[in-house]
Chains A and B, each alone.
Chain A
Amino acid sequence: MATLARSEVLAPDRAARARPRIPPGVGVLPGTLLIVLALLGPLALMLRYSFNRFVPGELMVEGLTLANYAKFLHDSFYRDVLLTTLWVAALSTLICLVLGFPVAYALVRQVGPRWKSKLLILIILPLLMGNAVRTAAWMVILGDKGLLAALLSGVGLTPPRLMYTPTAVVIGLVSVTLPFMIVTLQSVLERIDPVLEEAAESLGAGHLTILRRVVLPLALPGLLAGTMLCFILSMNAYATPVLIGGPQFHMMAPEVYQQVAKAMNWPFGAALAFVLMSVTLVLTTTANVLVQRRYRRWSE
């Protein structure tokens, strides 16, 4: 057997050391940079502006004041806007939960896998029509001369006034956020071993009991994720409240637009934006912490 020359033995190592290994983590830099420059930076700027003063006619005056936030707290109009946003978002989320869970369960346990993927596409597709198109559609359905009105009249009932009401907004928001809830829930339910439900059944549990004692506890993190997602989307909604809610209906995101783009009151608009985001953040973090505490014990 020939012996390797010393240089041959060393050569591979030297070559490997000569070429520096680029850590794959580097790939995140350009994207992160964009987000820092185009999202975080502007948000920080906006936060700073929320402490400036607004002088009508002068746009904005440098300053360091809490006047904008104070205005929000003291003006009952804006407090109501926040409250409206909160209850509309909460109601939409609740409806999404109540409707979304049985649909997700049916998709995972009742329908076969082939049908399930087809139906999921059907559920996602309308989401990507865009808010403008979707709200136009709801206007056609819920309007005074719309589809619902025509159907009810045809049966002999007087159609209720739905357009430009909070009810219509809730319907519109559910229409947008329900698919998110369904997709999130079905993903979590898929991971629960169906054998556990069979075990519960063999021990005498009825279907509702199985849902309550076995499925729901195990699906809790997914339920939380879905709820938070729907809640955030509803809190942040713009097109639906503007187009379906009508001029008398006010929610936070449209108000931000109103202040920044129409009234040119940047400081106050900024303050509203941050109130919206803070409230949403606090609520979702609290929910997260509460559920994690219950769930963590047996999940690790």
Chain B
Amino acid sequence: MSRAGIRWTYGTILGAVLAFIVLPLVVIVWVSFFANRILAFPASGYTLDWYARALDTDAFRDGFVTSVETALFATAASLALGVPASLGLVRGRFPGRDAVQALLLAPMVVPGIVGGAALFIAFIEVEALLDIQVAGTLGGLLVAHTLIALPWTVRLVSASLASADRAIEEAAASLGAAPLTVLRRVTLPAIRPAIVAAALFSFVISFIDLEKSIFLVGPGRTTLQIALVNYLEWNLDGTVAAVAAVQILIVGTALLVSDRYARLVQAF
């Protein structure tokens, strides 16, 4: 095949796959404006009513609030734990470093359901042991979400640290700065973009979690994802699409902003 033919073939495959990947996104936003009572093609008209409905639905409203609160906490906690951990992994030298790295990334490998189930069971045991409420509390949920976000922070910040220029740290040290000062005034500012990206990314990852949350929300509490799934079990109408569209907007913006700070690709 000629050079041009090869380019054309690759171009077509690329285009087709991209379309496939983007399709769900585009479709759900599109149908959020459909006037049909139950989502079906073709559209019988266009309307903004579903957005109003979504705002009105308690489950979605409460779920949204809970999801945002949880995500904010998870972000803060994931940074507080993840940044020092990245520093330790990349700059530290200790036996078993590879094992610790595997450990810090482990939550990504364990099935979400299994991790959630295990945590749920453990919480119940702790409840029985210590006679305090754990499972079904907000605290339990927050722990789980921190666990989800942590590996992503570690990946993003470690990648940035690993490629950071050590010479500037050495220069600072040679000019008389103590190690903690070097950290505070040279290292951290150098990786600030990655930290910002990690924050935004942690927020998103926590926001979209489903598997851990379904085990750990207590009665009377729900996250947005759980509310969506529950709603989907009964009907497929524009409300769900409207909620989804709003979520896409929020998440999309967070990610696009985040990408300006650090190449998100590194996290994968």
A binds B: yes
Task: List the B residue with the shortest CB-CB distance to A116.
Answer: B265
State the majority secondary structure of interface residues on B.
helix
Q: Which residues of the other chain, A, contact B28 by a CB distance below 8 angstroms?
A: 133, 136-137, 140
**A175 close to B228 (CB less than 8 A):** no
Known: A38-B143, A49-B121, A126-B22. A27 touches B85 (CB 8 A): yes
**A187 close to B265 (CB less than 8 A):** yes
A19 on interface, CB distance cutoff 8 Å: yes
- Distance in Å: Cβ of B87 to nearest Cβ of chain A: 4
Bound state CA distance, A28 and B91, in angstroms? 11
Q: Which residues of the other chain, A, contact B100 by a CB distance below 8 angstroms?
A: 28, 32
Bound state CA distance, A35 and B214, in angstroms? 20
State the majority secondary structure of interface residues on A.
helix
A–B Cβ pairs within 8 angstroms, 29 of them: A23-B93, A27-B85, A27-B87, A27-B89, A28-B84, A28-B85, A31-B82, A31-B104, A31-B150, A39-B119, A43-B110, A45-B121, A49-B121, A123-B18, A124-B265, A130-B209, A130-B251, A131-B210, A137-B25, A139-B232, A141-B27, A146-B41, A182-B17, A183-B265, A238-B111, A238-B113, A256-B113, A256-B117, A277-B114
A291 on interface, CB distance cutoff 8 Å: no
**A38 close to B144 (CB less than 8 A):** yes
Bound state CA distance, A94 and B247, in angstroms? 31
**B268 close to A136 (CB less than 8 A):** no
B259 on interface, CB distance cutoff 8 Å: yes
Within 8 A of A (CB), among B216-268: 225, 228-229, 232, 236, 240-241, 244, 247-248, 251-252, 255-256, 259, 263-265, 268
Q: Which residues of the other chain, B, contact A182 by a CB distance below 8 angstroms?
A: 17
Within 8 A of A (CB), among B116-174: 117-122, 125, 143-144, 146-147, 150, 154
B45 on interface, CB distance cutoff 8 Å: no
A260 on interface, CB distance cutoff 8 Å: yes
Known: A238-B112, A277-B111. A132 touches B228 (CB 8 A): yes
Within 8 A of B (CB), among A59-75: none
Q: Which residues of the other chain, A, contact B150 by a CB distance below 8 angstroms?
A: 31, 34-35
- Looking at A3-11, A97-105, A213-221, the stretch in contact with chain B turns out to be A97-105
Q: Which residues of B contact A (CB under 8 A)?
A: 1, 6-7, 10-11, 13-14, 17-18, 20-25, 27-28, 31, 38-42, 80-89, 91-94, 97, 100, 103-104, 106-107, 109-115, 117-122, 125, 143-144, 146-147, 150, 154, 178-180, 204-205, 207-211, 214-215, 225, 228-229, 232, 236, 240-241, 244, 247-248, 251-252, 255-256, 259, 263-265, 268
User: Scoring A residues 135 to 151 as 1 if CB is less than 8 Å from chain B, else 0, what string do you get?
Assistant: 11111110101110111
Task: List the A residue with the shortest CB-CB distance to B251.
Answer: A128
Q: Which residues of the other chain, B, contact A106 by a CB distance below 8 angstroms?
A: 10-11, 13-14
**A257 close to B241 (CB less than 8 A):** no
Instruction: Please tell me the number of chain A residues within 8 Å of chain B, measured between CB atoms.
Output: 93
The 8 A-B pairs with the shortest beta carbon distances in the complex, nearest first, are A25-B92, A130-B208, A27-B88, A27-B84, A137-B24, A150-B41, A236-B111, A145-B40
